[in-house]
Amino acid sequence: MSYDVIVIGTGPGGYVCAIKAAQLGLKTAVIEKRATYGGTCLNIGCIPSKALLHASEVYAHTAHGIAELGVEVAAPKLNLAKMMAHKDAVVKSNVDGVQFLFKKNKIDAFQGTGKVVAAGKVSVTNDKGEVTTLETKNIVIATGSDVAGIPGVKVDIDEKVIVSSTGGIALSKVPEKMVVVGGGVIGLELGSVWSRLGAKVTVVEYLDNILGGMDGEVSKQFQRMLAKQGMEFHLGAKVTGVEKAGKGAKVTFEPVKGGDKTVLDADVVLVATGRKPYTEGLGLAEAGVVLDNRGRVEIDHHYRTNVAGIYAIGDVVKGPMLAHKAEDEGVALAEILAGQAGHVNYDVIPGVVYTQPEVASVGKTEEELKAAGTAYKAGKFPFTANGRARAMLATDGFVKVLADKDTDRVLGVHIIGYGAGELIHEAAVLMEFGGSSEDLGRTCHAHPTMSEAVKEAALATFFKPIHM
Ligand code: NAI
């Protein structure tokens, strides 16, 4: 069998690339070794975690948030098995959706482990060990990433007591004490889930702030809000050991700056210290494909590896490990393979942390602008001054707009607050079109909406806000 494009891996990068390639008239196949399509994101990542984040938030909100609105109910009762069944059903509908889209777009899907034999040749080994060899003009590596573990620490992740995100979305009971190693996105999202459901969650983070790389002001306020929700933090703390002890585990950490060790007991330890590109068993070395010093497939601006006809996108290449970044690369690469001008604007890739409140950003942080020596101006608007936020008792947080001091072009927008993950996109569209804070501030926004806080922050950037 011969194809124009074979995509190895059907996560958001791979499946989107395949669909776009088929839409553009290329004969396309995908290879997937999991029993279902959609990769980490749909099966064990973004989608199931959002199902649990939503359900646990409804639980916590019902318990603590609605009496003030005049809605009085008896204390909610948790049915964890049902919550997990909801999560599983959401995963199923999404992975089935990908299968439907493959059929609709006449994409051949092969179940099994894909391996690059050489440029133009890919083998698929199924569960029974049967090998099929396929020919193709182009190979796309979209194999994603895997749990990295704790650098320099041997940890036995059994996905029951010591869990990665995979076990962290499938616990059969709420732990009394959970220790989260790593105050990044996974740690704070899944830590929030279990904290809302009743666990005492302690986060141990190496850096001096949570969500390293996030705007510093946002990160500080976010930590205060999570602490108010009951999470405990040890920052500037390096985890040096995670071991099973009895039915639970012990986590040992020490101050990064030096000092005494601390040992914490936990029923469950969530290891959330990052992910690494997944290239195992792909035959890349044999095919002569070069990896960079961090194990990522090295590519040029057109997603080409050093071997003609072999391309790579998503978590397996450089850049943020985000589903939407992988999707956009998939589209751009399919366009390039179809002879069009595919392109991704890496300056405008939003990032969202789906906690409560949500944290969202696009573009540069103040710290990045300072480090680059860019002259900028900042405008801020708090949700406490937004009518809709007051009506919903969702006044925690603010919007911050950063714009070039001379040209007023918006360089970054950072939001912490209810629905931030949706609000951020007007900033993304504005930035994609090279808009200024004045453009944003002069755009009519419906009243009363949370989005007005974005407009007011823009007004504050180029002149003055009205409602403050
Ligand atoms: P991360 O890189 O976001 O955070 C890992 C944290 O662990 C870092 O803050 C690091 O300083 C800390 N750490 C490392 N070694 C440590 C040690 N020995 N002791 C204490 N702390 C230590 O990685 P995370 O949260 O595992 O996520 C993996 C990837 O998945 C990220 O690239 C993330 O962007 C992506 N992701 C994105 C989501 C979203 O966009 N909402 C949701 C979940 C994951």
Find out whether the peptide bond into 12 is cis, omega within 30 degrees of 0.
no
pLDDT at 1 (0 to 100): 78
Which residue's C-alpha comes closest to atom 28 of ligand 1? 274
Judge if the beta carbon of residue 207 lies within 6 A of ligand 1.
yes
Residue 98, pLDDT above cutoff 90: yes
Question: 3-state DSSP call for residue 416?
Answer: strand
CA atoms within 13 A on the CB side of 195: 22
Question: Residue-wise over 88-116: b if at least 16 C-beta within 10 A, else e?
Answer: eebbeebbeebeebbeeeebbbbebbbbb
pLDDT at 212 (0 to 100): 93
pTM of the model: 0.97
Judge if the beta carbon of residue 47 lies within 6 A of ligand 1.
no
What are the backbone angles phi and psi of residue 336, rounded to the nearest 5°? -60, -45
Which residue's C-alpha comes closest to atom 4 of ligand 1? 184
Tokens read off for 409: 């072009």
251, β-bridge pairs: 242, 264
d(CA 343, CA 411) in angstroms, rounded, equals: 20
Which residue's C-alpha comes closest to atom 2 of ligand 1? 274
Judge if the beta carbon of residue 184 lies within 6 A of ligand 1.
yes
Q: How many CB atoms lie within 10 A of CB 422?
A: 14
Q: How many CB atoms lie within 10 A of CB 283?
A: 16
> Where are the alpha helices (H) located in 122-198, listed in sequence order?
165-168, 185-196
269 C-alpha to center of ligand 1: Å? 15
Judge if the beta carbon of residue 238 lies within 6 A of ligand 1.
yes
Nearest C-alpha neighbor of 80 from the set 214, 199, 245:
199
Which residue's C-alpha comes closest to atom 41 of ligand 1? 353
d(CA 190, CA 196) in angstroms, rounded, equals: 10
- Burial label, 383 (beta-carbon count in 10 A; 0-12, 13-18, 19+): buried
Active site residue 447: yes
- Closest ligand 1 atom to residue 272 Cα is 26
Average pLDDT, the chain: 97
Tokens read off for 283: 């035959």
Judge if the beta carbon of residue 205 lies within 6 A of ligand 1.
yes
pLDDT bucket at 330, cuts 50 / 70 / 90: very high
Nearest C-alpha neighbor of 31 from the set 141, 118, 138:
141
Residues of the chain with pLDDT > 70, as a percent, come to 100
Arithmetic mean of pLDDT, 400-408? 98
d(CA 286, CA 177) in angstroms, rounded, equals: 47
pLDDT at 384 (0 to 100): 98
Tokens read off for 163: 């869990």
pLDDT bucket at 244, cuts 50 / 70 / 90: very high
Residues 6+ apart with CB under 8 A from 71: none
What are the backbone angles phi and psi of residue 320, rounded to the nearest 5°? -65, 140
147 C-alpha to center of ligand 1: Å? 10
DSSP, res 321: -
- Closest ligand 1 atom to residue 315 Cα is 32
162, β-bridge pairs: 269
DSSP codes joined into one string, 202-248 = EEE-SSSSSSTTS-HHHHHHHHHHHHHTT-EEE-SEEEEEEEEETTE
CA atoms within 13 A on the CB side of 445: 20
Tokens read off for 76: 């909610």
Query: One of 302, 343, 447, 467 is an active-site residue; which one?
Result: 447
DSSP, res 75: P
* Residues 249-306 pLDDT 10s: 999 999 999 999 999 999 999 999 999 999 999 999 999 999 999 999 999 999 999 9
Residue among 41, 54, 185, 203 whose CB has most ligand 1 atoms within 8 A, to mutate: 185
Which residue's C-alpha comes closest to atom 30 of ligand 1? 321
286 C-alpha to center of ligand 1: Å? 31
d(CA 276, CA 239) in angstroms, rounded, equals: 19
pLDDT bucket at 65, cuts 50 / 70 / 90: confident
pLDDT at 421 (0 to 100): 98
Question: 3-state DSSP call for residue 326?
Answer: helix
